[in-house]
Amino acid sequence: MHRPPEPRMKRPRARRPRPTPADLVQAAPGPEFEITLDGRALSALPGQSIAAALWAAGVLSWRTTRRGGRARGAFCGIGSCFDCLATVNGTPNQRACLVPARPGDAIITQEGHGRADLTV
């Protein structure tokens, strides 16, 4: 009687960590620097936009809508939609996805229209 061969057990492959985009292009950004969001210190890297630095820190929203106070953050990421508006260094309505992060930047969560001199 012919017996079928025993199934061979596959050895688990050693997994290599997936390369990040920075690994793929062999990027070596400069040293981290500090920015703040509502007084909380966060790290940023040279070349990051404010939105990218906030995302990297786990922050997904930094604005509320004028009507309803709903949370907003980056949506399109290319400056078309205006959902990522923030108050940066005292200037309201800055598109965080387009503004480069700079050492010492003070970002404040923007509420509504971002202009204290207007009453709605």
Q: Residue 120: pLDDT band by 50, 70, 90 thresholds? A: very low
Domains and CATH numbers, the chain: 29-107 (3.10.20.440)
> What pLDDT, on a 0 to 100 scale, did the predictor assign at position 118?
46
| 15 φ/ψ angles, rounded to the nearest 5 degrees | -85, 130
pLDDT tens profile 71-90: 888 888 888 888 889 999 99
Q: What tokens appear for 22 in the block?
A: 């920075």
> What pLDDT, on a 0 to 100 scale, did the predictor assign at position 115?
59
Q: What tokens appear for 55 in the block?
A: 């995302």
Q: Residue 100: pLDDT band by 50, 70, 90 thresholds? A: very high
Q: What tokens appear for 94 in the block?
A: 């800055």
pLDDT above 90: percentage of residues in the chain: 44
| pLDDT at 31 exceeding the cut of 80 | yes
Residue type, 58: G
